[in-house]
Amino acid sequence: MASLSNRKLLLIVTGGIAAYKTPELVRRLRDHGTEVRVVMTKGAKAFITPLTLQAVSGHPVHDDLLDPAAEAAMGHIELARWADLIVVVPASASAIARLAHGFADDLFSTLCLATDAPIAVVPAMNRLMWSAPATQRNVELLRADGKLIWGPAEGSQACGEVGAGRMLEPSQILEQIQTFFGNTTSLHSEPAATSGALHGCQLLITAGPTREAIDPVRYLSNHSSGKMGFALAAAAHAAGAQVTLVAGPCSLATPNGVTRVDVTSATDMQRAVAEHIGHADIFIGCAAVADFRPVQVAGQKMKKSQGEDHMVIELVKNPDILAWVAAQTPAPFSVGFAAETHDVANYAKEKLQRKGIQLIIANDVSDPAIGFNSDDNTVTAYWADGEQSFATASKERLAEQLIDLISQRYEQSI
Per residue of the chain (414 residues), give pLDDT as tens: 456 878 999 999 999 999 999 999 999 999 888 999 999 999 999 999 999 999 999 999 988 776 655 544 445 567 888 889 999 999 999 999 999 999 988 888 889 988 888 999 999 998 889 989 999 999 989 988 889 999 888 777 777 777 788 899 898 898 888 888 875 544 344 333 344 689 889 999 999 999 999 999 999 999 898 999 999 999 999 898 999 999 999 878 888 788 999 999 999 999 999 999 998 999 999 999 999 999 999 999 888 887 788 888 999 999 999 999 999 999 999 999 998 888 889 999 999 999 999 999 998 877 777 767 678 889 999 999 999 999 888 888 899 999 999 999 999 988
Domains, the chain, with CATH or none? 8-185 (3.40.50.1950), 196-294+312-413 (3.40.50.10300)
Q: List the catalytic residue out of 112, 159, 201, 250.
A: 159
Can you tell me the distance from the alpha carbon of 86 to that of 113, in angstroms, rounded to the nearest whole number?
Answer: 11
Contact 337, 231 (CB under 8 A): no
Q: Which residues pair with 262 in a beta bridge?
A: 247
Beta strands in 137-233 (DSSP E): 148-149, 153-156, 162-166, 202-207, 212-215, 218-220
Instruction: Find the length of the chain.
Output: 414
Over the stretch 200-250, which tens digit does the pLDDT of each residue have? 899 999 999 999 999 999 999 998 989 999 999 999 998 989 999 999 998
Based on C-alpha coordinates, what's the Rg of the chain?
A: 23
DSSP string, 85-132: EEEEEEE-HHHHHHHHTT--SSHHHHHHHS--S-EEEEE---HHHHHS
Cα separation, 92 vs 100, in Å, equals 12
How many C-beta neighbours within 10 Å does residue 147 have?
20
- Model pLDDT for residues 279-320, shown as the tens digit of each residue: 899 999 999 999 999 999 999 988 888 778 888 899 999 999
Q: What is the pTM of this model?
A: 0.58
286 in catalytic set: no
Planar angle of CA 323, 325, 326, nearest 5 degrees: 65
What is the SS3 assignment for 48?
coil
